């Protein structure tokens, strides 16, 4: 009996040992390079990613592992001087792979008190002795090729298989073409690969051809950002990684046997921004004379990383948005990490107990009023602040992040000043936000100040229909003001996702 009981245990032990042994022999693909291989911590800060973060999605990870050891700001020299190559070298075993890409930072000064990361141009054996102004150490600086060759030779000494890539192209354009680096770092990378008889992938050329096929307007803002011509977005990083994979497929490198034929590429999930409010935020059936700022708002967002979902509805107050179930529909869609931009006030001053039944009680208190609606339904009406508190608290309960805004100003100029509502709906919105500890944007004040700078005649053009609803130009100004405010509010969680034109 005891022997029979031991059989399953021994079987499990055998399986575990077999699994452990497979893990030990499983090859690892190490990536070494600069920020175009891994930007920051590799978590997409600022929307920037390196190809090393996505190369694994093209490989069969049940048979091979991937470790991205690249570090932004490094050159072929400083990656080694800082000791970043050493831990990779120590872990290397026979059959591992090392993907190498440097060059973007090698063109800097050999010696300065800022970065001191430059290398001597070319692949020769020349060197220069310096007293490093940054580290204070005496140092012998070599050529770019010397440093690449060192990594290759040391990898081969451990039985690992190096692959050298030319640096990805920058998002610079001249007459519809992307400049190549085939007379500098791309050429020198290729020369070292030839000298050391290792695989070379002309990543620069391959990716540049893809970029040119799509065109500058399709590349900028999708694969690269307008603000950054060097570092790729997630889509750009995938483009880089796919170019490497294509190069491997055409090579005789054994790494290609781990490539998946039809990879399912997973990009980072977009953050969702829900907008709830009235017609000054809503779509309004594409009416050009009544365009809510929510329509223009995506123009100022990084839509590669965020999705704007405009659930504002014309003619609604906090009360009717609740009573009609519009808020419940939004709430049911909310997930942790979503954002909810809340702006009401234009319609809350309406009738409380007459047709439309959209007025709310004034203030932030707990007063209520029972209203017999025309359909014989008794409705309990609350204060404007109570409804705002409800939106905020219920959004937070779903793990979402509410942001409160005061309503847009009307085209009304009492005493030659744009009408403010800081003593009513704008003020009550602020009280609700502060009470809940959430971010508040005083859009009413910010836009009113812009209107006064522009003057009455110009602002009149923003309101083709009436004194409340803007056209396209006015909606764009309001949306830009919201985006600028979010950009400045570092604690609101959306600062990094706003795209403000220069």
The residues that are catalytic are 279, 466, 469
| Runs of H (alpha helix) within 176-278 | 185-196, 203-214, 216-219, 234-250
Residue 53 DSSP symbol: G
Would you tell me how many other CB atoms lie within 10 Å of the CB of residue 62? 9
Contact at 8 Å (CB) between 379 and 324? no
The rounded Cα 75 to chain-centroid distance in angstroms is: 25
Q: Quote the CA–CA distance of 33 and 15 in Å, as a whole number.
A: 38
Report the alpha-carbon distance of residue 148 to residue 410 in Å, rounded. Answer: 64
Residue 412 CB neighbour total at 10 angstroms:
11
Q: How far apart are CA 243 and CA 251, in angstroms?
A: 13
Pairing, β 199-201 against β 224-225: unpaired
CB 202 within 8 A of CB 244: no
Q: CA dihedral in degrees (26, 32, 36, 37; nearest 10)?
A: 10
CA angle 440, 443, 449 (to 5 degrees): 135
* CA 423 vs CA 211, 348, 385: distances in Å: 54, 14, 13
């Amino acid at each position: 009996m005891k022997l029979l009981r031991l059989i399953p245990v021994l079987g499990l032990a055998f399986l575990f040992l077999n699994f452990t042994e497979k893990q030990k022999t499983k090859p690892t693909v190490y990536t070494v390079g600069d920020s175009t291989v891994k930007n920051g911590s590799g978590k997409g800060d600022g929307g920037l990613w390196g190809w090393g973060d996505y190369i694994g999605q093209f490989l069969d990870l049940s048979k091979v592992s991937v470790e991205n050891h690249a570090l932004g700001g490094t050159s072929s020299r400083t990656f080694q001087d800082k000791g970043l190559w050493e831990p990779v070298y120590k872990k290397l075993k026979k059959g591992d792979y090392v993907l190498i890409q440097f060059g973007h930072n090698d063109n800097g000064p050999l010696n300065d008190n800022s970065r001191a990361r430059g290398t001597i141009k070319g692949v020769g054996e020349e060197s220069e002795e310096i007293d490093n102004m940054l580290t204070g150490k005496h140092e012998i600086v070599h050529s770019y090729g010397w440093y690449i060759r060192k990594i290759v030779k040391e990898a081969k000494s451990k039985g690992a298989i190096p692959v050298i890539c030319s640096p990805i192209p920058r998002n610079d354009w001249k007459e519809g073409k992307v400049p190549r680096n085939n007379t500098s770092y791309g050429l020198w990378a290729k020369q070292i690969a030839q000298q050391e008889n290792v695989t070379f992938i002309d990543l620069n050329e391959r990716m540049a051809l893809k970029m040119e096929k799509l065109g500058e307007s399709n590349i900028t803002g999708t694969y690269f950002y307008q603000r950054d011509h060097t570092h790729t977005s997630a889509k750009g990083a995938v483009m880089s990684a796919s170019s490497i994979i294509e190069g491997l497929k055409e090579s005789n490198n054994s790494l290609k046997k781990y490539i998946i034929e039809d990879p399912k590429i997973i990009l980072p999930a977009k953050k969702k921004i829900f907008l709830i409010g009235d017609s000054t935020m809503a779509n309004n059936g594409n009416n050009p004379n009544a365009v809510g700022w929510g329509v223009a708002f995506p123009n100022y967002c990084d839509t590669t990383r965020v999705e704007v979902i405009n659930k504002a509805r014309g003619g609604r107050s906090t009360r009717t948005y609740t009573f009609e179930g519009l808020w419940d529909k939004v709430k049911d869609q909310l997930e942790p990490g979503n954002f909810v931009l809340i702006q009401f006030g234009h319609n809350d001053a309406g009738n409380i107990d007459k047709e439309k039944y959209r007025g709310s009680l004034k203030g932030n208190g707990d007063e209520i009023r029972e209203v017999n609606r025309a359909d014989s339904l008794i409705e309990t009406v609350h204060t404007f602040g109570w409804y705002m508190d409800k939106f905020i608290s219920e959004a937070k309960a779903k793990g979402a992040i509410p942001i409160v805004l005061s309503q847009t100003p009307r085209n009304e100029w009492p005493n030659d000043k744009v009408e403010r509502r800081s003593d009513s709906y704008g003020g009550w919105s602020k009280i609700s936000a502060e009470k809940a500890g959430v971010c508040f944007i005083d859009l009413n004040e910010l836009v009113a100040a812009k209107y006064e700078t522009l003057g009455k005649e110009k602002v009149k053009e923003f309101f083709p229909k009436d004194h409340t609803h803007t056209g396209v130009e006015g909606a764009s100004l309001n949306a830009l003001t919201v985006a600028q405010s979010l950009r400045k509010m570092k604690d609101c969680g959306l600062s990094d996702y706003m795209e403000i034109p220069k």
